[in-house]
């Protein structure tokens, strides 16, 4: 069988809680306390696999925290080693795919973030992740809504926090005003000439840009220029939220000429449509700093290079795997891709790789793939037949 190239695009695997809606009178609030006042501190920042991590100290333990601007409040996992103080009741939460479910909300013990002490921070308890996480909890956008300005710099590996509203007034860069929807920040960017798209600035999402399918359809209806940037269409599912996988729907594979943040252009971008909100993800932070000013409600992007554009040139999205009854299943595949030509199809369930049994979705995620290696996938089709697909990563 012909050897082909496979791109295991799992970057949309984890898309965190993006809003909470009140239930039983326990809604969104920022009643947690910060001390001291009148501070400015620099926090060490890890930027790993297009995700932001910061250290905190809680009850004498050093913890790794995911900084997620797409989450309106903090989150911890069921069965977490973290203790919590008070049970605040339940909320209805909305995940990345706009699915709703009930989650318990608690306050966490006081913890230290640099020199800052945070008391009575609120966190929702979410289901255990499908795969083992590399962090202990999530801090959401409510940290900034409390009146904290921030500058995220992945090049210097620092997060600057301050309660001085004027600290970044002279920060150069490209400003976008954000609007709060479900207590998280939405801005307007331009994916096509004379078109704007409302997007969530979501550091909990790894891809640079994903577009809501309904929004895409509206753009495509208005302009032939949009359709010229579509590589193909198929039906499938790829986004996994806190409350489950998105439903099957048509997905458009996009190759954008440029995506504009104010007057700054990110060019040559591959993307896909999803059923959740359009998003600008943490991959943006590979190209510049972001300053958050909750007093002016602005996000300022300052490129690392002194240019008004940057070429992204990310690899095209070709295949996505989702959990199906605990196993890895092809949720989406681009029909012009090499892996499709090799025989992989939507709905195929992975049974083994190079004769090694793959008994769970988590085992699949942790399989030690190496670029340039050839792999033989044994899969079971939707019709129950077994077949082999040989592909080069």
Mean pLDDT of successive 10-residue stretches along the chain, which has 393 residues: 36 38 47 91 97 96 96 88 84 63 88 96 83 86 96 99 96 97 95 94 95 92 88 80 69 96 98 91 98 98 96 91 90 90 95 96 90 93 96 84
Residue 19: its pLDDT value, please? 41
Residue 393: its pLDDT value, please? 79
Residue 160 near residue 48, CB atoms below 8 Å: no
Topology given in CATH for the domain delimited by 174-311: Cathepsin D, subunit A; domain 1 (2.40.70)
- The pTM for the full model equals 0.88
Q: Alpha carbon 28 to chain centroid distance?
A: 21
CATH architecture for segment(s) 19-162: Beta Barrel (2.40)
Where in the chain do CATH 2.40.70.10 domains reside?
19-162, 174-311
CA distances from 369 to 108, 321, 365 (A): 38, 15, 9
The yes/no answer on whether domain 317-392 falls in CATH 2.60.40.1480 is no
Residue 385: its pLDDT value, please? 96
Question: Per the structure block, which two tokens stand in for 95?
Answer: 């995940």
Residue 259 near residue 209, CB atoms below 8 Å: yes
Q: What sign has the CA pseudo-torsion 137, 69, 245, 26?
A: positive
For the chain, the residue count is: 393
Residue 239: its pLDDT value, please? 63
Question: Per the structure block, which two tokens stand in for 193?
Answer: 């000439």
Q: Alpha carbon 352 to chain centroid distance?
A: 28
Where in the chain do CATH 2.30.42.10 domains reside?
317-392
Residue 96: its pLDDT value, please? 57
CA distances from 273 to 193, 231, 243, 363 (A): 18, 12, 19, 27
H runs (alpha helix) in 337-384: 338-341, 361-365
């Amino acid at each position: 069988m012909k050897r082909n190239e496979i791109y295991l695009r799992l970057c949309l695997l984890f898309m965190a809680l993006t809003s909470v809606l009140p239930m039983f009178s326990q809604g969104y609030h920022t009643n947690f306390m910060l001390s001291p006042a009148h501070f400015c501190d620099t926090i060490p920042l890890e930027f790993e696999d297009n995700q932001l991590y910061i250290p905190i100290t809680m009850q004498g333990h050093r913890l790794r925290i995911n900084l997620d601007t797409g989450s309106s409040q903090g989150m911890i996992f069921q069965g977490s080693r973290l203790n919590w103080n008070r049970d605040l009741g339940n909320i209805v939460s909305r995940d990345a795919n706009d699915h709703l479910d009930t989650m318990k909300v608690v306050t966490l013990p006081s913890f230290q973030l640099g020199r800052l002490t945070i008391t009575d921070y609120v966190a929702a308890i979410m289901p255990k992740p499908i795969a083992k996480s590399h962090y202990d909890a999530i801090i959401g956008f409510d940290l900034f809504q409390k009146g904290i300005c921030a500058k995220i710099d992945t090049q210097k590996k620092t997060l600057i926090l301050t309660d001085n509203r004027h600290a970044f007034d002279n920060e150069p860069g490209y400003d976008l005003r954000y609007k709060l929807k479900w207590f998280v920040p939405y801005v307007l960017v331009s994916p096509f000439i004379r078109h704007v798209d409302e997007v969530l600035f979501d550091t909990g999402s790894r891809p640079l840009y994903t577009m809501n399918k309904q929004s895409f359809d509206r753009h495509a209806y208005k302009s032939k220029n949009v359709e010229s940037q579509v590589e193909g269409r198929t039906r499938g599912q790829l986004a996994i939220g806190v409350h489950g996988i998105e439903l099957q729907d048509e997905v458009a594979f996009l190759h954008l000429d440029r995506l504009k943040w104010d007057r700054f252009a990110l060019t040559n971008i591959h993307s896909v449509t999803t059923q959740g909100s359009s998003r600008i993800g943490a991959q943006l932070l590979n190209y510049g700093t972001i300053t958050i000013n909750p007093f002016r409600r602005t996000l300022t992007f300052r490129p690392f290079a002194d240019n008004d554009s940057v070429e992204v040139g990310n690899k095209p999205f070709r295949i996505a795997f989702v959990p199906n009854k605990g196993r890895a299943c092809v949720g989406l595949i681009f029909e012009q891709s090499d892996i499709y030509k090799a025989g992989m199809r939507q709905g195929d369930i992975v049974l083994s790789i190079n004769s090694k049994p793959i008994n769970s979705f988590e085992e699949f995620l942790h399989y030690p793939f190496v670029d340039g290696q050839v792999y033989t996938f044994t899969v079971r089709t939707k019709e129950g037949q077994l077949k082999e697909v040989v592909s080069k990563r």
